Homo-oligomer: A and B are copies of this chain.
């Protein structure tokens, strides 16, 4: 896992744990002032919640923990390119920096799809850093879906 850092490593750990729980293996951590303030994997199946993507979960957990509607200064690390829902939530939460692993041409919304952060209806865009640990992040997903077949 060269080329990554400890926060993305923690997001990868969350992704693997999600996969072991039979959830789509995507993980995220939210960092503020150098500390992890929320960490989660996808939980749509066991959580019975179509919106329970890893990014949504860490944003909601952090908002609740801090008693804030927004998270300025917070950085999000996630193993896969955020989808349209999550990209917009990242914008609403005023996340400062977004670091993600693998690209997602089929469902992503940052460099793929609607490229939300470049749109006029996006009123806050984070700084984006992509491709961190992308090989490992993609492998976790590929292995999961291969095992499903």
Q: Which residue of B lies closest to A61 (CB)?
A: B49
- Which of the candidate stretches A6-14, A81-89, A139-147 sits at the interface with the other chain? A81-89
Q: Which of A47, A84, A109, A120 has the most CB of B within 10 A?
A: A84
A4 contacts the other chain (Cβ, under 8 Å)? no
Q: Which residues of B contact A22 (CB under 8 A)?
A: none
A interface: dominant SS: loop
Known: A84-B121, A114-B116, A121-B108. A68 touches B51 (CB 8 A): no
Question: Whole-angstrom distance from the CB of A5 to the nearest CB of chain B?
Answer: 25
Given contacts A48-B67, A85-B85, 6 further A-B pairs with CB under 8 A are A47-B69, A49-B63, A51-B59, A51-B60, A51-B92, A84-B85
What are 13 inter-chain pairs, A to B, with CB distance below 8 A? A45-B69, A51-B93, A83-B121, A84-B84, A84-B85, A84-B87, A84-B121, A85-B86, A88-B88, A107-B123, A113-B121, A114-B116, A114-B119
